[in-house]
Amino acid sequence: MIDSQARLALESTLADRVEFEVPLSRYTSLRIGGPADAIATPRDRKELSRTLAICSEFELPTRTLGSGFNVLVSEAGLRGVVLRLKKLRAIERIGRDAIAVEAGASHATVTRFCVERGLSGLEFGAGIPGTIGGWLAMNAGIGIREMKDVVRSIEWMDGRGDLMAPVSRADLDFRYRELAGLPDGSVLVGAQFEIEESDRVKVQNEIDRLLGHRQATQPTDIPSCGSVFRNPPGDFAGRLIEAAGLKGSREGAAEISQVHANFIVNHGGANARDVLRLIERARAAVAAETGIVLETEVQLIGSSEGDVA
């Protein structure tokens, strides 16, 4: 719950770009999640900075969400302010070998920008749904490439809304599906990526090839959050879950996908508890068969530990 003074401060800065008591199920690809106290969609960096300063002043927790493709939000929702950066979406070419992209730009617009100009380097991201902020925060990638391989530098704001000096790749702590080391409450606002001049058709063909592979191996036409578990060293979480016989297991309307066992899909009306029960079932079965304890890749977030855990 946000008190009236904080609410007034947010409204006087953001006008209709702040909403209160908004169900997060609208903003997650799993279509699951209770209410956020507030959702702010600042129109530019200045407004983002001011919003963070207000949150800091009133001690409101913040969470930046991209497109919600990698989160499982509890039924209790999130206290404080959820920040959405979809209006920060500029993309610009920097010289011959880099592009600068704001964190709210979607994977689709970045891909289109590169294809139209015949720029190569980010083709692997074409099928990784989300925003550039989400790509960076998750060090998103596929077997052959991750964001860390193509990022030149990032831009970020601290929790008080101060824009910090850009950090170059050598000083960033990218890990498997994680960017570590930034203070809590930091917001990624943009990045530069290394690209090469290539040929439009070549870039498009590579994207088509990767998207075709996904269509054939993943459930792409039903709500999910992508891979639920990280792959353990030298193996694949999907293979282990399938070997444990859990493809097609259900809890309510949530199901371990018949197409790819590392995906949990929502057939309509599943809640966070259903998904968590399937996560625990898969973890226990794989541990019993192999001794491997799978770790989640999907970010479990929500105001009450008890609700998501």
Ligand X SMILES: Cc1cc2nc3c(=O)[nH]c(=O)nc-3n(C[C@H](O)[C@H](O)[C@H](O)COP(=O)(O)OP(=O)(O)OC[C@H]3O[C@@H](n4cnc5c(N)ncnc54)[C@H](O)[C@@H]3O)c2cc1C
By annotation, the residues acting in catalysis are 177, 227, 297
Q: Does 141 bind ligand X (CB under 6 A)?
A: yes
**CA–CA separation, 199 vs 213, rounded Å?**
22
Q: How far is CA 165 from the centre of its chain?
A: 23
Query: Total binding residues for ligand X by CB under 6 A?
Result: 33
> What Å distances lie between residue 214 and 111, 121, 122, 201, 218, CA to CA?
16, 19, 16, 20, 5
Pick out residues in 179-218 that bind ligand X (CB under 6 A).
187-188, 218
Stretch that binds ligand X, among 5-13, 48-56, 66-74, 229-237 (CB under 6 A): 66-74
Q: Which of 85, 67, 65, 129 is nearest to 301 (CA)?
A: 65
Contact between 255 and 249 under an 8 Å Cβ cutoff? The reply is yes
Q: Does 228 bind ligand X (CB under 6 A)?
A: no
Hey, what are 279's tokens?
Answer: 């996560």
Stretch that binds ligand X, among 45-53, 115-123, 124-132, 232-240 (CB under 6 A): 124-132
Q: Does 125 bind ligand X (CB under 6 A)?
A: no
CB of 291 to ligand X, least distance (A): 26
CB of 97 to ligand X, least distance (A): 24
DSSP H stretches of helix in the chain: 4-14, 45-57, 107-117, 132-137, 200-217, 237-243, 272-290, 305-308
Q: Which of 6, 36, 40, 65 binds ligand X (CB under 6 A)?
A: 65
CB of 125 to ligand X, least distance (A): 9
Q: Which of 62, 67, 153, 303 binds ligand X (CB under 6 A)?
A: 67
Residue 219's H or E segment, with its range, is none
CB of 268 to ligand X, least distance (A): 16
Residue closer to ligand X by CB (options 103, 285) is 103
Q: Does 68 bind ligand X (CB under 6 A)?
A: yes
Q: Does 69 bind ligand X (CB under 6 A)?
A: yes
Q: Which of 25, 37, 47, 63 binds ligand X (CB under 6 A)?
A: 63
The angle at the Cα of 18, spanning 16 to 24, to the nearest 5 degrees, equals: 130
Stretch that binds ligand X, among 64-72, 164-172, 234-242, 268-276 (CB under 6 A): 64-72
SS3 at position 22: strand
Stretch that binds ligand X, among 61-69, 94-102, 230-238, 279-287 (CB under 6 A): 61-69
**CA–CA separation, 8 vs 5, rounded Å?**
5
Pick out residues in 250-289 that bind ligand X (CB under 6 A).
none
Q: Which of 144, 148, 134 is nearest to 210 (CA)?
A: 144
Q: Which of 32, 45, 135, 308 binds ligand X (CB under 6 A)?
A: 135
Phi, psi at 109, each rounded to 5°: -70, -35
Contact between 70 and 130 under an 8 Å Cβ cutoff? The reply is yes
Q: Which residues sit at the interface with ligand X, rule CB under 6 A?
A: 29, 63-71, 85, 103, 128-131, 133-135, 137-138, 140-142, 177, 187-188, 218, 220, 224-226, 299
